[in-house]
Amino acid sequence: MSLLNATYRHLVRSGNACLFGFIVLSSYFPGFAQESPKIRTEADTAQIRIGEQINFKITVEADTSAQVIFPEGQTFSPLETVEAFKTDTSRVKDRMILQKIYALTQFDSGNYLLPTQRIEIDGTGYFTDSLLVAVASVPVDTTKQQMYDIKPMIAVQKNNSRFWLMLFLGILFLGFLSWLVYRFFFLKKPLTEEEKEAKLPPYDRALLELKKLENSRYLIQDEYKKYYSELTDIVRAYLEEEVQISALESTTRQLIEKLELLKDAGELNLEDETIRHFNKILQTADLVKFARSKPPTNTAEQHRLAVEQIVTKTHEAIPEPSEEELQQQEEYLQMLAGQRRKKRQIQYGVAALVIVLLAVGSLAVYMGPRLFWDTVSGHPTKQLLEREWVSSTYGFPPISLESPEVLLREETELSAEEKEAIKEQYAFEYKNPDALFSIGAMSRILNQPVEPDYEKTLESVLRELEAGGARNLITKKEEFTTQTGVKGVKVYGRGTFKLPESDESIRGQYAVFLFGGSGFQQQIVLTWPDGDEYAEEIIERIQNSLEVKLEV
């Protein structure tokens, strides 16, 4: 206490009494000055076997009002994060203790340095200690454990249920269209009474029409003009069809003269009395039609019977055709049959064409015109997109990606200048000969443990593209991060590219992905047609599947 009083008197004399008060308050309130955060890390083990997990725990002790952000994602590379557990929070007096555990693993043997992790507390970064983890391979005693051959590949049948459903619906639709075409174009409808009468021979049809005239009510209703008009039309139509003379347009005198000429020529064996009787009936009909004459009813009925007899006698008077006429008639019938067959064939062809056009049109509407045409014409990149994709790893350090075709190894020779910097090189490539589409993957191990020169590598890639016919290349650059958090460089752009095995050039796009570390480098080069939506979908899928290892 005497020491405190002496200090006070000294500070008062020197004019620093306020400073003395602050010191006294600080001594009585130790929590007035905040303590800095404390970070500790520990692991349950530093030696694991391939595939086993290590629990890496980070403990943060900070003020209760502090905002703490732990690492997220694949920030522990080369170790892989299996799971990040929830943060455990506890409180001791006026301090907050946060604990977060990460489950990590590795599937390749070797010694791996777990990098330092950045923990952000109230906007300030704090870093953990690094940790060396040894991953040992699993020993296999081949003398005790029996070894087996690699199992052969098993063909897996695709699920074609949707295909068969579409095929079934398509068959039903085509069947319905076929039925409609047959129903409206080929199915013979039942003939009406008029159509049946029209198909009768001239003689039978004339007798049937005379019978209908007999049962008519013309005479009862005093319609003699209609009665005689139908009577003369029936006999004139019969003579025109059976005797083949122009009877409908001839006057009574002209018709009688034609019948007499046929009789004199021996082509119609009619009696003179029959011709005279027929002439008298026609004259009476003319008087009725044009002079409004009205014969007795029984006379009109007798005239109908007389016309019926004239039709019968005329039918009997027609001489039998000669052998030459029969032959000509047979040829004529064959010609008519051939014309009918040809007409049916044309109808069948038109019907089949209509069905095909309807089916194709319906499919085009369902799929869309562009997709339908690309499917029918066999669009090269569309076929690539719809294939069963392959997921594989290429080169060393490995590059993993999915692609519609397996990349084939390319034998490359290093120049003397390249050999000075490159120890080993692994190159793989796929090119589609029908389109501007290619995938290239290359891994290089350098002679010296130095960081790769991305600018020099990019210049080399662009020179190779120009050597292949590329012109007017536009270049853009940005940072690229894989799905697992590995960062690299993406260079992309457009230009004019030469088609494979052709002198033609088209607009295209390219993308170059560059990754690497101390002593190694990886690159992936993609080219595809500009504006091709199928190719762009392929490129996006490849880009999303891209993975690389950052340790040699």
Domain CATH number, residue 85? 2.60.40.740
Q: What is the pLDDT of residues 263-300, one digit of tens each?
A: 888 888 888 888 899 899 999 989 988 888 888 888 88
Domain assignment present for residue 141? The answer is no
Domain assignment present for residue 417? The answer is yes
Domain hosting residue 23, numbered range? 2-32
Of the given ranges (42-46, 381-385, 516-520, 545-549), which has the lowest mean pLDDT?
Answer: 381-385
Domain assignment present for residue 164? The answer is no
Rounded CA separation 11/436 (Å): 87
Residue 130 shares a structural domain with residue 268: no
Residue 312 shares a structural domain with residue 326: no
Q: What is the pLDDT of residues 426-482, one digit of tens each?
A: 889 988 877 778 889 988 888 888 888 888 888 888 888 888 888 888 888 888 888
Domain assignment present for residue 165? The answer is no
In this structure, are residues 240 and 314 in contact, taking their beta carbons and an 8 Å threshold? no
Amino acid at 517: G
What is the arithmetic mean of pLDDT over 77-88?
87
Domain assignment present for residue 187? The answer is no
In this structure, are residues 350 and 186 in contact, taking their beta carbons and an 8 Å threshold? no
With a cut of 60, say whether residue 157 has pLDDT above it. Answer: no
CA geometry: angle 232, 238, 242, nearest 5 deg: 150
DSSP code, position 432: E
Residue 373 shares a structural domain with residue 422: no
Residue 198 shares a structural domain with residue 300: yes
Rounded CA separation 473/475 (Å): 6
In this structure, are residues 382 and 401 in contact, taking their beta carbons and an 8 Å threshold? no
With a cut of 90, say whether residue 101 has pLDDT above it. Answer: yes
With a cut of 80, say whether residue 191 has pLDDT above it. Answer: no
Residue 440 shares a structural domain with residue 539: yes
With a cut of 50, say whether residue 20 has pLDDT above it. Answer: no
Q: How confident is the model at residue 24 (pLDDT cuts 50, 70, 90)?
A: very low
Residue 49 shares a structural domain with residue 14: no
Residue 22 shares a structural domain with residue 42: no
Residue 46 shares a structural domain with residue 107: yes
Domain assignment present for residue 256? The answer is yes
What pLDDT is stored for residue 148 in this prediction? 59
What pLDDT is stored for residue 57 in this prediction? 92
What is the arithmetic mean of pLDDT over 98-123?
88
Residue 214 shares a structural domain with residue 361: no
Amino acid at 98: L
Residue 447 shares a structural domain with residue 519: yes
Residue 270 shares a structural domain with residue 121: no
Domain assignment present for residue 326? The answer is yes
Residue 312 shares a structural domain with residue 325: no
Q: Which of 523, 395, 521, 508 is nearest to 452 (CA)?
A: 521
Q: Which is more confident, 229 or 420? A: 229
With a cut of 60, say whether residue 69 has pLDDT above it. Answer: yes
User: How many domains, the chain?
Assistant: 5
Domain assignment present for residue 287? The answer is yes
